[in-house]
Chains A and B, each alone.
Chain A
Amino acid sequence: MKDRMWKMLLVLALLAALVACGGNNGTVNEPDTEVEEPANVVEEPVEEETAEEPAAEEEPAAEEPTGEMPEIEPVRIALVLASTVTDLAWSQSIYDSIINLQEMYGEDTVELAYTENMFNVTDAASAIRDYADSGYDIVIAHGAQYGTSLFEIAPDYPETTFAWGTSTNTGEAEGVSNVFAYEPRAQEGGYVSGVLAAHLTESRIIGVVGPVDAGDAKLHVDGFVAGVHAVDPEIQVNISFTGSFGDTSLAAEAANTHVSAGADVLTGSSQQVVGAVNVAAENGVPWLGIQSDQSPLGPDVVVASVLYDWVPTLLDMITSHQGGEYGGRVLQLTLANAGQRMIYDEGLPEEAVAAAEEARQGIIDGTVEIVAEPRN
């Protein structure tokens, strides 16, 4: 009997605490409280980009649609993420881009709500459906595992735009017409990084810390190896996969393995590279980043990043949606459409950057062809 009394008291106390603090903590869905802080943090990389751009891009400036700001009406965007907005990788890259959009157009025009940690597809499906029910115009499920759920939910909301990636499947075969599929052609940015790495290495050994040999990571590694071998086929590129996207300690050990095996340039993808970049910093080995500007992790060490800029893709989706086209196309992030951008550190040797820029221009022109080498 006494037991039960204590239990009741505890439950009541917990309820009281919840009610008292409930307001401040806020659910992840509230855009106002959540968006405030990261806005300050995102300032830095945005400024860095614009500072680097005039230095790095002399000729190609004419092809970049950076001056273009299409007119859009108020739009409500919902984002479902597999990891967190602070992962300095896949999820953060699209979140940062939407924040950029908010800065460009104002928070009244671009409304954002997001849910993190939806790695589990069933959870994500309910989040997607909730957002569609609440009347969001564009619901983005940012992960390659969400396709089936989207194709089930989309027909119920014919005037909502859904989007997912990395994929090229818009659901046409299932009769779905309001889903966009997007795919960063990661092999392009990878190729340019590879060319840069080949010019930076002295030991002629380069290490790659991969998560899983699939999707975005696979494309990136394919391009990277092709880029390195385009400069010098004799350079050894050691690739290891940790088998997970979040195993930070194993990624750190993978980087250690590469360094012990003689690598003097490192790269890798997914949010777990945080551990690997730390190892690179400890050993003074340059790191080439991808998806987000990873230089906060080690300003002296992250010498270049392939930044995924989702702004052109997002604007494409928004203008299509507001023009009555709710989906049905594949959107790609390429070097040519500024979906992928190179950020170079100022201290890099000029001839290395020049070679990388040449490769980048070659890809945009179509004169460079990226051929993936088979892996065992």
Chain B
Amino acid sequence: MSELTAIGVLLGIIHQGIRLATPYLYAAIGETISQRAGVFNLGVEGIMLMGAFSGFYAVFETGNLLLGVLAAAVVGLLMGLLMSVVSITFHAEQGISGIGLYMFGLGASSLLFKTMLGTIEPVRGFPALRFCLSDDFCLANISVIGDIFFGYTALTYGAYLLVPIVWWVLNRTTWGLKIRAVGHNPEAADSLGVSVTAVRYASVMIGSMLAGVAGASLSIGLLNVFQEEMTNGIGFIAVALVYFGSWKPVGVLGGALLFAGVSALQLWVQVINLEIPSDLAVMLPYLLTIIALALPFRRSLQPGALGKPFSRGEG
């Protein structure tokens, strides 16, 4: 197990990249839904922190993992409601209201942590699933397939399942059609009887709910601990990933895997002692993302009405 073969290193990078991409994926897919409906939510980072704390605290007090995810989802939903009221009903500038929500989440999660916990505590989060069919044989132990497909937590599997589900909802259901319509041309949608406000509210709230779950995937999925500011910018990178993925779930998946994969790569590069300075290795994920962004052959699905508040009639 500890032999450093080339294939071993490669499998290590793949496995860790897939795992590390989990919070990015939840947050970015959620943001995709919200942005497709025309609202961009910069508060994802704050919602993630609140979700991380809520999920952590629920598991800390009750030991029930499902309750933790539920708590994070509900908190995300409520923060999405706040964002919706301010940005959709009150027509606030979405960038500013989003940052305000981020600051609120940052401060509130720290305050709650200090008053309700006070110190860093470990917790038993989601276990890595090895799919053991019998005492001796586990699917995760199969040499190559096991490393790539098995050994992740339920939350990680959930994140990847989300991609085809959200793709299907956006492109094959009436509800998805409404979301896309409201994001591209809300006046036309409104004239056809679609409630722009209701669809946007729902999209933002669902997106925020997923951001809350993204936070929980960090605190009770990957790290089994809550620490102030533990998201460290994942929320903002998730918003950038939506742009990177051209507002398509598949594109977002690719972006998340690229970013997380290269982050895992740079860690391995430092360990196998190639003569690369650590500072250069640390730059890699960001460098590669910028290069990929500069590639020209990507069709943009940017929603036409992204960021513009809608009001019927006088405007």
Contacts and interface: CB of A to CB of B under 8 A. Distances in A.
Given A241-B278, A253-B267, A297 B2 contact: no
A244 B282 CA distance: 9
Interface in B110-154: 110-111, 113-115, 118-122
A275 B263 CA distance: 16
Given A86-B114, A261-B2, A296 B121 contact: yes
Interface in B9-48: 12, 16, 19-20, 23
A203 B2 contact: yes
A246 B49 CA distance: 14
A148 B44 CA distance: 34
A249 B118 contact: no
Contacts, number: 140
A242 interface: yes
Contacts of A87: 227-228
Contacts of A88: 119-120
Contact of A261 (B4, B19, B222, B263): B4
20 contacts: A6-B89, A6-B90, A38-B119, A213-B278, A238-B271, A241-B278, A246-B230, A248-B223, A248-B227, A249-B230, A253-B16, A256-B16, A260-B8, A275-B225, A281-B122, A296-B120, A297-B120, A298-B122, A376-B275, A376-B277
Contacts of A15: none
A254 B228 contact: no
Contacts of A256: 16
Contacts of A271: 227
A224 to B, nearest CB: 15
Interface string A1-32: 00100110010000000000000010000000
A253 B222 CA distance: 9
Which of B119, B222, B268 has the largest count of A CB atoms less than 10 A from its CB? B119
Contact of A274 (B90, B115, B223, B267): B223
Place the interface of chain B in its size category. Answer: 35 or more
A318 interface: no
A239 B119 contact: no
A257 interface: yes
B279 interface: yes
A375 B280 CA distance: 14
A41 B276 contact: no
Contacts of A275: 222-223, 225
Closest 4 A/B residue pairs (Cβ):
A262-B2, A243-B282, A240-B270, A241-B278
Contacts of A124: none
A281 B271 CA distance: 21
A278 B4 contact: no
A145 interface: no
A252 interface: yes
Given A242-B282, A247-B232, A278 B122 contact: yes
Contacts of A10: 90
B264 interface: yes
Contacts of B272: 261
Interface in A171-225: 203, 205, 207, 210, 213
Given A262-B4, A278-B122, A376-B277, A249 B20 contact: yes
B122 A248 contact: no
Nearest to A38: B118
B190 interface: no
